[in-house]
């Protein structure tokens, strides 16, 4: 298992303690349960989800928890300068798995395998339509009905409850990328990806007019 991110910023000791507590409470129990179920299955079924996949998903969630308190920044892609929602997801996946995801939440929503809400596991991505824009917001599921995301201008990376009325109303679906993708955007081409759709105005995704997302729950 990997450690947390090197970034510390101005976060207090209390936040780091919270990070450790959440990592234990939210991740170890559901993952242990999943592995226990896998162990009781026939070998042909249990081997369908290798242990390395569970561990990688767990690492994604733990690494993301280490970014609690990082400032939201419209278009941000690093903890030092701030993160927006897709910037957070992209940064975590790059640091933990080496995957270079597309820059927009809409593009990310086309990757991996679609996952029913009842089958969510830590490390899965959850998508939402905000301000009438489909797949305009994304977060990383942590387990126990919680996910982590970068919310809006003036906010910080935080953990919220998926079953909250607002998120349920705007839920667009979930995707599993770990263990489901043969390849992603090579690092050399990652910076050519466009950034997220503007928060104002309704309408569908348009690749020619994209800027970072902003969420106003």
Reported as a single tens digit per residue, the pLDDT across 170-180 is: 999 999 998 76
Maximum Cα–Cα distance across the chain: 52
How much of the chain, in percent, has pLDDT values that exceed 70?
A: 57
Q: Which residue has the higher pLDDT, 8 or 100?
A: 100
Residue 35 in this model has a pLDDT that exceeds 50? no
Can you tell me the distance from the alpha carbon of 75 to that of 137, in angstroms, rounded to the nearest whole number?
A: 13
pLDDT of residue 71: 98
The residue with greater pLDDT, 201 or 177, is 177
E-assigned strand segments in 153-194 = 158-161, 171-176
Provide the 8-state DSSP code for 26.
I
Query: Please, which pLDDT band fits residue 197 given cuts at 50, 70 and 90?
Result: very low
Higher per-residue confidence, 176 vs 195: 176
Q: What is the pLDDT of residues 92-137, one digit of tens each?
A: 999 999 989 999 999 999 999 999 999 999 999 999 998 788 999 9
Q: Is the pLDDT of residue 41 over 80?
A: no
Residue-wise DSSP of 82-133: EE-HHHHHHHHHHHHH-----SSHHHHTTSSEE--GGG--TT-EEEEEETTE
Counts of helices then strands in the chain (DSSP H, E): 7, 8
Higher pLDDT, 204 or 7: 7
Residue predicted with more confidence, 122 or 23: 122
The architecture in CATH of the region 13-192 reads: Alpha-Beta Complex (3.90)
65 with 19: CB under 8 angstroms?
Answer: yes
What's the average model confidence in pLDDT over 172-190? Answer: 65
For residue 178, the model assigns a pLDDT of: 86
Kindly state the average pLDDT of the residues 142-160.
96
Catalytic residue IDs? 85, 137, 149
- Give the contacts of 181 (CB within 8 A, at least 6 positions apart): 99, 111, 112
Which band of pLDDT confidence, cut at 50, 70 and 90, is reported for residue 29?
A: low
Confidence band for 2, pLDDT divided at 50, 70 and 90: low
């Amino acid at each position: 298992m990997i450690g947390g991110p090197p970034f510390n910023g101005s976060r207090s000791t209390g936040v780091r303690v919270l990070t450790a507590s959440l990592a234990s409470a939210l991740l170890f129990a559901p993952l242990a349960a999943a592995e226990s179920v896998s162990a009781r299955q026939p070998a042909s079924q249990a081997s369908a989800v290798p242990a390395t996949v569970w561990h990688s998903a767990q690492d994604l969630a733990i690494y993301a928890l280490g970014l609690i308190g990082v400032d939201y920044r419209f278009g941000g892609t690093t903890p030092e300068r701030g993160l927006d929602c897709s910037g957070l997801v992209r940064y975590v996946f790059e640091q933990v798995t080496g995957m270079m995801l597309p820059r927009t939440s809409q593009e990310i929503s086309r990757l991996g395998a679609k996952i029913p809400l009842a089958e969510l596991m830590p490390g899965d991505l959850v998508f939402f339509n905000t301000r009438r824009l489909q797949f305009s917001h994304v977060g990383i599921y942590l387990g126990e009905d919680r996910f982590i995301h970068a919310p809006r201008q003036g906010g910080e990376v935080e953990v919220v409850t998926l079953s909250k009325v607002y998120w349920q109303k705007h839920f667009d679906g979930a995707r599993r990328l770990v263990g489901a993708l043969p390849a992603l955007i090579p690092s050399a081409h990652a910076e050519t990806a466009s950034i997220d759709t503007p928060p104002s105005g309704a309408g569908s995704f348009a690749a020619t007019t994209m800027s970072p997302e902003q969420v106003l729950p």
